[in-house]
Amino acid sequence: MIGAGIHTLSLGWRLSQLLEERGESHKKILIIDKQEVGSGASGIACGVVRNNYFQPAMRELMLHSVGVWESDAENLTYHSVGYMQISPEKMHADVAQIYKEQKAIGYDSVFIEGKKDCASYMRGIVDDWQMEDTTSVLHEKRGGFAHNKASLKGLARRARAGGVEIVSGCRVTGFRRDNGSAAVKAVITDAGEVECEQVVVAAGPWVRDFWQMLELPREITVRQGKGLQPTDVSMWCYWQLEEGVLEVEPEYLSNNAGGAPPVFHVDSEQPLFDKASGEQVELSGMWGIYYKPDHNFGGVQGGAAPYLLDMPAEEVAVDPYGPASPQFVARKEFPNIWCAALGTCQKRFEGKRNLYRDEPSGGIGCFTPDSFPVFDRFCDNVYIIADSNHGYKMIGIGHLVAEELLGKTSALLQPFRFSRFAEGELHPQSNSPFPWS
């Protein structure tokens, strides 16, 4: 398994259990990473866990993943505080549909409609709520957040306890195939070759590089729907994720009872103003932010809608820790937008722009043509987990892939096969300003 992040660690944990049950615990499971556990995208994730998806297949997948988080909450540093989608009229119908289908799959949530009732409900949680254009609130009673690196260490403990070997400082440089075979016989690393029965690539934003090593197509055919004409597009593109921290005590964002509130996700078309200067913050269209109190980050942490990097995917030098490169730095407008939006949502955040702190979280994300994951087998024995930046919250993917590696097809993973692009079986899109929604 290539990459010591959320997917391989979860996969190693579950696969070791399944092999034990089958009497095959002698089989070796190896995870390699060019740095160490959590050194990539999983280690800088904001940690939000939610079911809030307009796409039915994503909702069912997240129902499974939330269950995995809940099953080992203490070890995974998971905080089940809930999650709230707070939306304007433009998104009302979409969110109503999400609520209806959450109820159909047994996911506990509450739906509030109308400006007056929404304002009253929110003030019952945080009494300084002051948004004006909210017409729907979807309150997921499950979901919440986990601490990125601490949760990965917990997963690594589970994996190692099952006999999984995790090797740090081992960089993959290629793959060996013998006698014209499609299957990979060995993974080539800077520490030598590793012969293998099966390979799993779960490399987050580096998936593009392994895709190229495996000589898979840089451009693919995509149909926007059945019967429509196909279009050739790049397989990958990169978005810059914008996140930061307000340097206050995490308890500064408490609910009316003095405890931790749900994770807040707010979308709006309401104008934003810098309360200190009185100037309007320039925006193009709808804005969206999310935020939560977080002792891991040491303050109130969150982010806003990302932006697409205006360059071919092949030219992006992937490094989530690369602030020296312009494409890895949040736009200079981001702190103004995020802090102004915080103050628009809650009075306690007015005039707090001076407390903003850049934080190495978010990084860049590698997205597929429809911004949803690909979970599929290539080259006969290479399983690729391309999470399209939905990754950290989807801890259950590793458990499902473990079963597929041993021959059991997962119905939950079926809607995310690579073939959907050519067949026009794409996931529906909502009115959210976020590309992954």
Identity of residue 306: P
State the fold for domain 83-141+237-367: D-Amino Acid Oxidase; Chain A, domain 2 (3.30.9)
246 CB contacts (<8 Å, ≥6 apart)? 291, 299, 300, 301, 339, 342, 349, 352, 355, 356, 357
CA atoms of 172 and 194, how far apart (whole Å): 10
| Exposed/middle/buried for residue 326 (C-beta within 10 Å: 0-12, 13-18, 19+) | exposed
So what's the pLDDT on residue 333? 82
Highest mean pLDDT of the ranges 178-187, 210-219, 220-229: 210-219
CA atoms of 46 and 149, how far apart (whole Å): 10
Largest CA distance in the chain: 70
| 6 and 214 Cβ atoms separated by less than 8 Å | no
CA atoms of 145 and 154, how far apart (whole Å): 15
CA atoms of 316 and 135, how far apart (whole Å): 40
Do 1-80+144-219+371-421 and 83-141+237-367 show the same overall fold? no
The CATH number of the structural domain formed by 1-80+144-219+371-421 is: 3.50.50.60
Residues 399-430: pLDDT tens digits?
999 999 999 999 999 999 999 999 999 998 88
| Structure tokens belonging to residue 297 | 């980050």
Domain ranges across the chain: 1-80+144-219+371-421, 83-141+237-367
Confidence of residue 360 (pLDDT cuts 50, 70, 90): low
Residues 106-152: pLDDT tens digits?
999 999 999 999 999 999 999 999 998 999 999 999 999 999 999 99
Q: 306: helix, coil or strand? A: strand
Alpha-carbon dihedral sign for residues 402, 408, 409, 412 = negative
Of 399, 424, 429, residue with least CA distance to 64: 399
